[in-house]
Amino acid sequence: MRTSLVLAAVVWAGASAAGASVVTYDFTGQTRVGGIPHNFTGVFVYNNGVPGSTVYHPGGGYPVQRGFESRYQGATQWLSITLDNGESVSGGVGMIQNNNIQQANPGSQVPLGQSLQCYSSGVSGTINGLHVFNMYLAFLPVDPHFSWNALNTYFGGDAEAMLQNDPSILPPDIDPRLTGTALPRNVLDVFNGGVFLGTNHAMTNTVNDIYTFTRRVPSPSSLILLAMAPCAFTRRRR
């Protein structure tokens, strides 16, 4: 699959000014669902302030590999695409899954390193007249940036050996930054190696190319409203 990314280096001042956690991305790409290519534009919204839970996988059973997995229920807020023929597909609140796989088995679909999958719920719409019931964004692969040192300190010993002997000792609420699976405040800060859009219709999963993926900058008026929100709340209380 050939995927090209146009990354925008922008700063969302409104997020820090008002403590906002919702981030919006605009993207473009091409789908071949039904064998007919169509260009599309899309919107992805996620909440980077949603807490997650992390588990350790000891591996040895396909397709689960050795490594860590963090799930953020409700982090995806919106995912939609609009095709050049007027058709559209959209979905609402869903889960984001962050994987840091340290060793992938030969032939596995899960690559060595870290990947992120963003799922949406209640998906509906059509592409070439075919009903699409599932849609997700996948960011992969990127180079691993995980180190066992932090977990060795946490457990006071050889964390990898301890977890392989007893994976249950990893608490579900452990700080995911220790396992390298924290949900980034900006997905492009970490996942800049590739992205694609997955769609499901009938029994078919189609990988659709993403050409550009850009973080949206709030308008000046939106930033002013965000900055004034705490003041208005204070005046109302008075």
**Is 4 among the domain residues?**
no
**Is 111 among the domain residues?**
yes
Nearest-angstrom CA–CA distance, 26 and 6: 11
DSSP label of 93: S
Q: Residue ranges of the chain with pLDDT lower than 50?
A: 1-19, 222-226, 229-230, 232-234, 236-237
- Output b/e per residue, 124-144; b: 16+ Cβ within 10 A: ebebbeeebebbbbbbbbbee
**Is 5 among the domain residues?**
no
pLDDT of residue 201: 94
pLDDT of residue 54: 92
Nearest-angstrom CA–CA distance, 215 and 147: 29
At 2 the three-state DSSP class reads coil
**Is 1 among the domain residues?**
no
**Is 109 among the domain residues?**
yes
- Residue 92 belongs to what domain range? 13-237
Nearest to 167 by CA among 55, 84, 22: 55
**Is 162 among the domain residues?**
yes
Nearest-angstrom CA–CA distance, 101 and 122: 29
Nearest to 99 by CA among 146, 136, 131, 62: 146
Total domains in the chain come to 1
Taking a C-beta distance cutoff of 8 angstroms, is the pair 136, 119 a contact? yes
- Output b/e per residue, 145-161; b: 16+ Cβ within 10 A: ebebeebeeebeeebee
pLDDT of residue 191: 81
**Is 66 among the domain residues?**
yes
pLDDT of residue 48: 92
